[in-house]
Amino acid sequence: MNKILNFVPSKASAVKELLKGWNIEEPGAGISQVLAEEYLKVSGWAVGHRPIKKLAVEISGEIYYADLDTQRPDVIEALFSNAEGGAHDNSCGFSIIIASELSSVASFDIGFIFEEKIEWVGTFFFEAPQKVLIGKHQWLFLDNDSNDSVDQFTGMLEFPVSDQEKWKTYISDIQSISTINKFEWLMVLAPSKEYVFQDYYPHELSENNTPSQFMRLFEGHQKIVYPLNLLIHHRELSYWKGDTHWTDYGAYIIFKDTLERFHLPVLNFDTHCRIEFSIKNSIGDLSEKLPGHAKQPKVQLSDCPHDHSEFVIYDNRIPNNGRIIISENAQPLCSESILIFGSSSAYNLVKFFQMYFRRVVLVHSAAELDMEIINHEKPKYVLLQSNSRFINVAPEYLGTHSVRRLTSSKIENFSALEVRKIMKLQDHSLSANEVFYSSML
């Protein structure tokens, strides 16, 4: 959603020589191209050091003109003393409606005709809003995103009752399916960084924030986990300045908490797998949006005796939703398998689950369960993981989500080059035994 920003002057000194004062009142600063009127309306006022004959507006090489014929005594009174004001014509205002759809206008130039010559004074332009919000101590946060993160935090975003009811039905159905299919399950919501660093965030937290509304729906539910307090306790290690996601250390904390909730042993994991962390300066998904792409320190898992990629036997390489990564461990601490229906925050988690379980299947679906995959894998453990900013929209009813259908649809929209690249990567997969998943492509 593009918004108008302040104009770029042709030359500030030249503008001062031409005009005693001027202002564009419409379109206003911050107006959205999507929400604005169908046509571009330009209105305002101008008072020159010499008489101004007309306003000129140029859009895509075409010039439109308007007279300065609107009475603006308020402007004259503000610019001149009483003695001077009487000598000036109040007709300094202008207004013009241009038959160009605002959504198609990238920029427009403003000028004024003095005698017979147009003097251009500057350019107004529309630009995508900044996606990054800079908080205290230069911590970066997501802004102007499709999930309306700021409005979720401040309680301004409606969490529709219809979505709340769908969530309750969805969770109830998962509980029923888990009993029938004999698997243990949990749902973990990754808190957005602004909730962990509320004191660094330049907005006030509302009690009616979206994650709180969601958790009230499932108050006392042992299977729904929102580990906010746990991560706040380790917050400087669990998140980092330049990214929206938790660090490897944050994922490690959640991994151990998940094992405990599954009643699985944790104590011998660190020594058996030689878990160590280091600090690396990196560019994150927030810092990459800023000029200069400044690197920020983050805590990450150090190189272990084994490369984590060695566990991976299949990766369909579908970007984001629909991606499937399968890992197997010949010397696991747990001989069972775990199926993870996760979001982007799950990729850090997988590093630890790979070292613990015999088989780990990660499906990028943001906690949407696929019954076809459940029936194929027959896992002992199922982890649903989503980022908390996604929960304002409920998943479809259980049984309707299909990764097979999703990946097929995505591939149809890929270029021929992208399809060839993905298919070539399948040929280099370490396992020929995952026909069930490769058949989805």
pLDDT at 106: 74
Does residue 105 have a pLDDT over 90? no
pLDDT at 282: 95
Q: Residues spanned by CATH 2.60.40 within the chain?
A: 3-127
Average pLDDT, stretch 148-171? Answer: 95
pLDDT at 40: 81
Average pLDDT, stretch 419-423? Answer: 83
Mean pLDDT (the chain) is: 89
pLDDT at 1: 45
Q: Which of 286, 290, 437 is nearest to 373 (CA)?
A: 437
Q: Which residues of 310-342 are buried (b: 16+ CB within 10 A; e: fewer)?
A: ebbbbbbbbeebbbbbbbbbeebbbebbbbbbb
Does residue 432 have a pLDDT over 90? no
DSSP state of 139: -
Does residue 439 have a pLDDT over 70? yes
Average pLDDT, stretch 171-191? Answer: 98
What amino acid occupies position 27? P
pLDDT at 15: 80
Distance CA(114)–CA(110), nearest Å, equals: 13
Average pLDDT, stretch 392-404? Answer: 92
Query: How confident is the model over 253-271, as pLDDT tens digits?
Result: 999 999 999 999 998 888 8
Query: Can you list the alpha helix ranges (DSSP code H) found in 19-118?
Result: 73-79, 82-85
Higher pLDDT, 259 or 433: 259
Average pLDDT, stretch 123-138? Answer: 80
Does residue 9 have a pLDDT over 80? no
Q: How confident is residue 430, by pLDDT bands cut at 50, 70 and 90?
A: low
Per the DSSP assignment, residues forming a β-bridge with 114 are 52, 117
3-class secondary-structure state, position 17: helix
Query: How confident is the model over 33-83, as pLDDT tens digits?
Result: 454 456 788 899 999 999 999 999 998 888 999 999 999 999 988 888 765
Higher pLDDT, 233 or 293: 233
pLDDT at 63: 93
Distance CA(210)–CA(192), nearest Å, equals: 11
Task: Specify the range with the lowest mean pLDDT, choosing from 116-130, 212-226, 256-270, 287-301.
Answer: 116-130
Average pLDDT, stretch 178-188? Answer: 98
- Percent of the chain clearing pLDDT 70 (strictly above): 89
Q: How confident is residue 98, by pLDDT bands cut at 50, 70 and 90?
A: confident
Q: Which residues of 369-408 are buried (b: 16+ CB within 10 A; e: fewer)?
A: bbeebbeebebbbbbbbbbbbbbbebbeebeebbbbebbe
pLDDT at 85: 53
Average pLDDT, stretch 87-105? Answer: 80
pLDDT at 242: 95
pLDDT at 187: 99
CATH of range 3-127; options 2.40.70, 2.170.130, 2.60.40, 1.10.8:
2.60.40
In terms of pTM, does the model score above 0.95?
A: no
pLDDT at 71: 93
Q: What is the DSSP string of 325-365?
A: EEEE-SS-SEEEEEEEEE-TTHHHHHHHHHHHEEEEEEEES
Average pLDDT, stretch 325-352? Answer: 96
